[in-house]
Amino acid sequence: MAGKPVICISGFAAVGKSTVAKMLAKRMRLRYVSGGDALKEVAKEMGFSPKGPGWWETEKGLEFLKMRSEDPKFDRRVDRKLLEICRSGGVVVDSWVMPWLYRGRSFKVWLTADKKMRAQRMAMRTRMTKAKAIKFLDRRDRESSKIYRKLYKIRMGEDFEPFHLIVDTSRLEPRQVVEIIENVAKHYFRMSTRRKPS
């Protein structure tokens, strides 16, 4: 593959973004960067103690989510940093909004899954009941969508125009999702580097 590829993985909570992005980065020998981890660093600066993959579903995580919805500076700061990273290339970025914000040459993937499967995954990583997980998902989807619509006029889960590939992870193992993305991404980058006939 010519150049330094950029792959952006997006989707709602508990669809497998982080797991898939990490595995894909390792497999393709690219750097992995997490928008969620970057936001957690901002949360630490604000006095929170974000720990573990299920922190976003805790009351403190939701409190920080509310702060973000009231003040866009937290997300803007993280997104500016992620844009810089994308411009350097050679990276897989797990981010809710990079597919819309980054305009450079890249391969963009939307991951989706049915709500019951998402709730099951969240319940496993947070030890909450499935019923409670569904409520948390509804709230987090709603609040996060509101943030990005307010900031960038992005319609999460409605506007799929930036994406080259959409994968439903409901019935797939992470390695299967990674194989699908890798195969299509490699083909995309090969095709995009070929010269157009004169």
For the chain, the structural domain boundaries read 6-190
Q: Tell me the CA distances in angstroms from 149 to 136, 144, 153, 161, one per residue in order.
A: 20, 9, 4, 15
**92-111 mean pLDDT:** 97
What number of other Cβ atoms are within 10 A of residue 136's Cβ?
22
Q: Residue for token digits 């999702």?
A: 177
**73-95 mean pLDDT:** 94
Under the banding of pLDDT at 50, 70 and 90, the label for residue 1 is very low
Q: pLDDT of 112-167, one tens digit each?
A: 999 999 999 999 888 889 999 999 899 889 989 999 999 999 999 999 999 999 99
pLDDT score, position 194: 66
Q: For residue 195, is pLDDT > 70?
A: no
Give the full edge-to-edge strand order of the sheet including 31-34.
31-34, 91-94, 6-10, 107-112, 165-168
pLDDT score, position 58: 84
Question: What pTM value is reported for the model?
Answer: 0.88
**In the CATH hierarchy, which fold is given to the domain comprising 6-190?**
Rossmann fold (3.40.50)
Q: For residue 8, is pLDDT > 60?
A: yes
pLDDT score, position 175: 98
pLDDT score, position 197: 47
Q: pLDDT of 20-42, one tens digit each?
A: 999 999 999 999 999 988 888 88
pLDDT score, position 180: 98
Nearest Cα to 189, choosing from 160, 154, 165? 165
Q: Rg of the chain over CA atoms, in angstroms?
A: 17
pLDDT score, position 5: 95
pLDDT score, position 104: 95
187 is written with which tokens? Answer: 């083909």
Q: pLDDT of 31-75, one tens digit each?
A: 999 998 888 888 998 899 998 777 888 889 889 988 998 898 889
pLDDT score, position 3: 65
